[in-house]
């Protein structure tokens, strides 16, 4: 085989292999989710998400300090309110769980604080907005789109008032980015960026998160507003609409089953791209590792590396702290 001119293995030898590596991870690529629970005075482990907890409001700062110690610079805050109602009014309350936590976190840490803007944790029916009349009894009925926009805008403004550095609307409501941008600008927060959940699929990988955030629908599902997992071209239309409305960062959720979409968004748009390595992706690796079938540290790193390779600039992941400590 002396005639072989091209031998790719030449660049896989120790020493040169790392020099020609095309993608690497750093702690600054990662965003760590933090769950703050107004209903508890103690940290509550999340059984389906090993290593994660809901923390009371007065421990939000300590929780974020733990994240920062690993080198991760950014967190995204999710809240579990003291009480819920059909319209999710605690989502935009000045003394709401996220608002209180964000004030404390921004006052006492140097973390970059992002907030999730949605209503599913705050409504007693668990849907991502104001539902149509009789929706509980009729599976063809769904969330009222335009009425929900006002509530999302009000929520985002309340988060900015509390000190959030960035807001992240996740409800897949048509027009949500434009409504929030208008609300923020009108309230005097033109410099608060929006990270839009631009292509969010109706995925089976969200199960553990719904345990963590207490946001599972009480009836029906979310197929009328979250995307069909079969559709990739539709994702490009969704993302383009959010760009037109002023989105600053474009997110794809979930990540690993949708790397083709992450890659397509990266090719078509010059905005920063985020991907959410969701709770089901996290839980299934933990479950396999507990069986002894996988090396958890290795597969976690490889999973995040593949998301970065596909084109994500930012990765929201429950592995943030563990992987950052390895880097």
Banded pLDDT at 216 (limits 50, 70, 90): low
Mean residue pLDDT across the chain: 90
Question: In the predicted model, is pLDDT for residue 132 greater than 70?
Answer: no
In a domain, 175, yes or no: yes
Cβ contact 285:9 at 8 Å: no
As for how many domains the chain has, the answer is 1
Residue 263 is labelled as binding a ligand: no
Residue 122 is labelled as binding a ligand: no
In a domain, 276, yes or no: yes
Residue 222 is labelled as binding a ligand: yes
In a domain, 16, yes or no: no
In a domain, 4, yes or no: no
Q: What is the pLDDT of residue 130?
A: 66
Banded pLDDT at 3 (limits 50, 70, 90): confident
3-class DSSP assignment, residue 203: coil
Cβ contact 222:197 at 8 Å: no
Instruction: Look up residue 17 and give its two tokens.
Output: 């292999």
CATH number at residue 189: 3.20.20.70
More confident residue, 321 or 215: 321
What does the alpha-carbon distance between residue 265 and residue 271 come to, in Å, rounded to a whole number?
9
Residue 118 is labelled as binding a ligand: yes
Domain containing 148: what range?
Answer: 24-325
3-class DSSP assignment, residue 274: strand
Q: Which of 144, 253, 291, 308 is catalytic?
A: 253
In a domain, 18, yes or no: no
In a domain, 137, yes or no: yes
Instruction: Look up residue 163 and give its two tokens.
Output: 């000190």
In a domain, 102, yes or no: yes
In a domain, 210, yes or no: yes
Residue 120 is labelled as binding a ligand: yes
Q: Which of 144, 200, 291, 308 is catalytic?
A: 200
Question: In the predicted model, is pLDDT for residue 199 greater than 80?
Answer: yes
Q: Is 144 a catalytic residue?
A: no
Which residues fall within 8 angstroms of residue 12, CB to CB, at 6 or more apart?
none
- Does this model's pTM top 0.75? My answer is yes
């Amino acid at each position: 085989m002396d005639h072989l001119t091209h031998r790719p293995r030449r660049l896989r030898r120790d020493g040169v292999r790392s020099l020609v590596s095309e993608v690497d991870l750093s702690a600054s690529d990662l965003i760590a989710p933090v769950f703050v629970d107004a209903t508890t005075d103690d940290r509550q482990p999340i059984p389906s998400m090993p290593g994660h907890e809901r923390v009371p409001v007065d421990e939000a700062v300590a929780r974020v300090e733990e994240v920062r110690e690993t080198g991760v610079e950014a967190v995204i805050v999710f809240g579990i309110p003291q009480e819920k109602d059909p319209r999710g009014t605690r989502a935009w309350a000045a003394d709401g769980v996220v608002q209180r936590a964000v004030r404390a976190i921004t006052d006492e840490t140097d973390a970059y604080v992002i907030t999730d803007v949605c209503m599913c944790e705050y409504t007693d029916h668990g849907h991502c907005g104001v539902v149509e009349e009789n929706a509980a009894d009729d599976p063809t009925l769904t969330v009222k789109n335009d009425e929900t926009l006002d509530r999302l805008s009000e929520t985002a403004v309340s988060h900015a008032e509390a000190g959030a550095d960035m807001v992240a609307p996740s409800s897949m409501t048509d027009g949500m980015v434009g409504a929030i941008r208008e609300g923020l600008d009108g309230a005097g927060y033109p410099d608060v960026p929006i990270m839009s959940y631009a292509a969010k699929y109706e995925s089976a990988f969200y199960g553990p998160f719904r345990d963590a955030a207490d946001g599972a629908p009480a009836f029906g599902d979310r197929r009328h507003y979250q995307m069909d997992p079969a559709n990739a071209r539709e994702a490009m239309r969704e993302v383009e609409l959010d760009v037109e409305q002023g989105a600053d960062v474009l997110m794809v959720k979930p990540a690993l089953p949708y790397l083709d979409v992450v890659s397509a968004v990266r090719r078509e748009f010059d905005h920063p791209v985020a991907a959410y390595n969701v709770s089901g992706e996290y839980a299934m690796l933990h479950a396999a590792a507990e069986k002894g079938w996988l090396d958890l540290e290795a597969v976690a790193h490889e999973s995040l590396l593949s998301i970065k390779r596909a084109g994500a600039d930012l990765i929201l992941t429950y592995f943030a702290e563990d992987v950052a400590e390895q880097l």
